[in-house]
Each structure stands twice: as structure tokens, then as C-alpha cells.
Amino acid sequence: MLFRALAIPEVILIEPRVFADDRGYFLESWVRSKFAEGGIDHDFVQDNHSASRQWVLRGLHYQLERPQGKLVRVVVGEVFDVAVDMRRSSPTFGKAVWERLSADNKRMLWIPPGFAHGFLVLSERAEFLYKCTDYYHPASERVLLWNDPALGIEWPIPSGVQPLLSARDSAGCPFTRAECYA
């Protein structure tokens, strides 16, 4: 496995070693010892699986009281995945990083606790898996406004296309008014 820090060093892109032949392929998606060597030494308590159609945008979500680290990957289709640093004490506070994750490239992304997270479905359909370091805690969940210009996220949305958002995600908070971590 290859572990590569992104522009925000705590966010890590993981490229698993894929063993492929005419029957298909095999890869290790989680090996605690290898991930610890790659800088990701966390326990996971919850696995989630979402399915969405093209142009669905989910996020940008985070939990104040029980921050979740997330190991994310796509098993069907392709998404544009985003992490925003919500830690006031961080030198990258308010900065965003993004990557394309797909069933074809088999990449995974580690988003540590203290980040808002979201994704946009680029393919006709996508299935998204994520392992979480803490349980879902609806009372402390917050939503950062996905298209806040202050974040500088370059969403790959074609002209004339409106992303499909939940009511909650449409009403996200601008970064300047968002509750953040210390």
C-alpha cells in the first residue's frame, strides 16, 4: 500500500496494491498494521455504505462533540471527495483538499477527526463506503455550506447542472459563521 499526504498533511490518499488477473482482482482495504505504519493508527467503530445517483452532493458534514475520522472509498462509480479543516489551532484551518475516488482507481482517503467531509457523485451511480472512528451523533452534527466561496472548492459541476442536495445540506452554514474545533 502507498500512503501519500495531501496538501493538508493529515489527509492521506491510500493506493492499495491490487492483484489482478483474468478472474478479477483482490486488494486489502484495511490492515491495521499497514495503516499504522502509514500514519493512520485509529480504531473504527462503525461502517457505512451509501448509494447515490449522478450529481448528488452529500455534505459537508462534521460532528462537534464526537468528531469522526473517516476512511472512505468507492466500490461502484466515481465521486469527487472533499475534506475541509475545521480545527482553529491548525495551520491549514479553513483549507480544503479533494480527490477523485472511483471503483476503477480503487483509491481510499483518510479524513481525520476535525474535518468536514462531503462528496459529489460524478458517475451515473456510485456506492460509497466509509469506516468511522466514532459513532454517528446527530445532536452534534453540523453542515458547512458546500459552495461557500471562502472554501475555494473547485467542484467539477458542468454549467447548467444543479447538484442534488438534501434540505439540510442546502441550508449549510457559511464557513465564517460555522462552529469549529479548538
Active site residues: 61, 130
Residue 68 identity (one-letter amino acid):
Q
Q: Distance between CA atoms of 180 and 142, rounded to whole angstroms?
A: 10
Spatial distance between the Cα atoms of 103 and 29, rounded to a whole number of angstroms: 12
SS3 41: coil
Residue with cell 467542484: 155
